[in-house]
């Protein structure tokens, strides 16, 4: 039975992944910041998938002092860990012109700093064990700095680079590191945004992610066409991207 710790499990892709793995009879430890949501999801998964073992840990990722104790608690409840997944993320709406310091700081804190702390703890754990897999949910938004939301772009770019560094560090120890850049997924993060191309239903995204994580893919998008778009964006000259690049 695979044992999985899922950080940011109570909404969106995290919730759908929790259902995917619980449905396969895995041992799943959920983390989220709202106790009632963690408890409700754990109870729901236990009822729907009696062959799974489901636990919950409460952790507000904005509380730096809580991160290491929460990681230790999750490991203790899981017994041992085979797969550590960081799916938590914050996306604040912007007007595309004005920076809001508090919003930018929260995105960088949760998507980048807290991610680095938790993923680093997982890296140390798996390095000592000589096995395991780390997965981070990053974004195509980190492939270039777009004018609409620079802080979100920067937070995801940092996460992508951090995961690449962990991949290179942990390779000699038999530990896999996977970076997922989903593209648009129909979660509440995308609520109110219409006309978005190639938007994946959240269950489709979760099935694809679970399958490709199991396969051991290192870097992937939910729909492969996003990879082609990302490659094209990398080759757009700066002066062109500055004037005509997407928000």
Tell me the pLDDT tens digit for each residue of 36-51: 999 999 999 999 999 9
pLDDT tens-digit series, residues 113-149: 999 999 999 999 999 999 999 999 999 888 888 888 9
Q: Which domains does the chain carry?
A: 3-244 (3.40.50.720)
pLDDT in the model for residue 190: 64
pLDDT in the model for residue 193: 64
pLDDT for residue 21 is more than 70: yes
CA triple 7-8-9, angle to 5 deg: 95
pLDDT band at 236 (very low <50, low <70, confident <90, very high): confident
pLDDT band at 153 (very low <50, low <70, confident <90, very high): very high
Lookup: tokens for 99: 């920076």
Q: 242 or 181: which carries more pLDDT confidence?
A: 181
pLDDT for residue 238 is more than 90: no
pLDDT in the model for residue 241: 73
Q: Are 127 and 175 in contact (CB under 8 A)?
A: yes
Task: Report in angstroms the alpha-carbon separations of 76 from 5, 6, 135, 187.
Answer: 11, 14, 20, 31
- Supply the DSSP string of 33-102, one letter for each residue: S-HHHHHHHHHHHHHH-TTSEEEEEE--TT-HHHHHHHHHHHHHHHSS-SEEEE---------SS---HH
- What are the residues facing 7 on neighbouring strands? 31, 86
| pLDDT > 90: percent of the chain | 75
pLDDT tens-digit series, residues 184-226: 888 876 666 666 778 889 999 999 999 999 999 999 999 887 7
Nearest CA to 160 out of 240, 86, 67, 79 is that of: 86
What is the number of helices (H) and of strands (E) in the chain? 9, 7
Nearest CA to 203 out of 224, 220, 187, 223 is that of: 187
Lookup: tokens for 230: 């990302």
pLDDT band at 234 (very low <50, low <70, confident <90, very high): confident
pLDDT in the model for residue 228: 81
Q: Are 54 and 61 in contact (CB under 8 A)?
A: no
pLDDT tens-digit series, residues 62-89: 999 999 999 999 999 999 999 999 999 9
- What are the residues facing 200 on neighbouring strands? 185
pLDDT in the model for residue 148: 83
């Amino acid at each position: 039975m695979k044992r999985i710790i899922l950080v940011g499990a109570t909404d969106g892709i995290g919730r759908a992944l929790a259902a995917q793995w619980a449905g396969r009879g895995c041992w799943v430890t959920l983390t989220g910041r709202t106790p009632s949501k963690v408890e409700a999801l754990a109870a729901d998964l236990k009822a729907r998938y009696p062959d799974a073992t489901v636990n919950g840990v409460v952790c507000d990722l904005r509380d730096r002092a809580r991160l290491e104790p929460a990681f230790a608690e999750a490991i203790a409840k899981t017994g041992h860990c085979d797969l550590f997944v960081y799916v938590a993320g914050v996306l604040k709406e912007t007007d595309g012109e004005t920076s809001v310091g508090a919003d930018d700081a929260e995105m960088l804190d949760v998507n980048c700093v807290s991610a680095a702390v938790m993923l680093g703890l997982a890296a140390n754990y798996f390095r000592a064990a000589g096995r395991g897999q780390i997965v981070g949910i990053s974004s195509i938004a980190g492939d270039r700095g777009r004018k609409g939301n620079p802080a979100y772009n920067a937070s995801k770019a940092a996460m992508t680079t951090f995961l690449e560094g962990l991949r290179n560090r942990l390779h000699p120890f038999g530990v896999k590191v996977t970076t997922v850049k989903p593209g648009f997924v129909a979660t509440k993060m995308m609520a109110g945004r219409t006309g978005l191309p190639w938007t994946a239903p959240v269950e489709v995204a979760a099935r694809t992610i679970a399958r490709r994580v199991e396969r051991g893919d290192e870097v992937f998008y939910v729909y492969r066409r996003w990879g082609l778009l990302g490659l094209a964006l990398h080759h757009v000259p700066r002066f062109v991207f500055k004037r005509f690049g997407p928000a």
